[in-house]
Amino acid sequence: MDEIKELLRYAFRTSNELTMPVSGPGTAGMESSCCQSGGAR
């Protein structure tokens, strides 16, 4: 899992430690990113 996270960080050019894969259809990833961007501040 750590290797996959590291490859995702490389692919998306980020150093965010909270990068993680989401298993599911494209809409699952889309929903996850929308929920994260609109979370509590």
Residue 5 has pLDDT above 70, yes or no: yes
The mean per-residue pLDDT over the stretch 2-23 comes to 87
DSSP per-residue letters across 5-26: HHHHHHHTT---TT-----S-H
Q: 37 vs 2, which has greater pLDDT?
A: 2
Compute CA 19 distance to the chain's CA centroid, rounded to the nearest angstrom. Answer: 5
Question: pLDDT at position 10, please?
Answer: 92
Q: 28 vs 6, which has greater pLDDT?
A: 6
Domain with 8, as residue range(s), is 2-37
Q: What is the pTM of this model?
A: 0.54
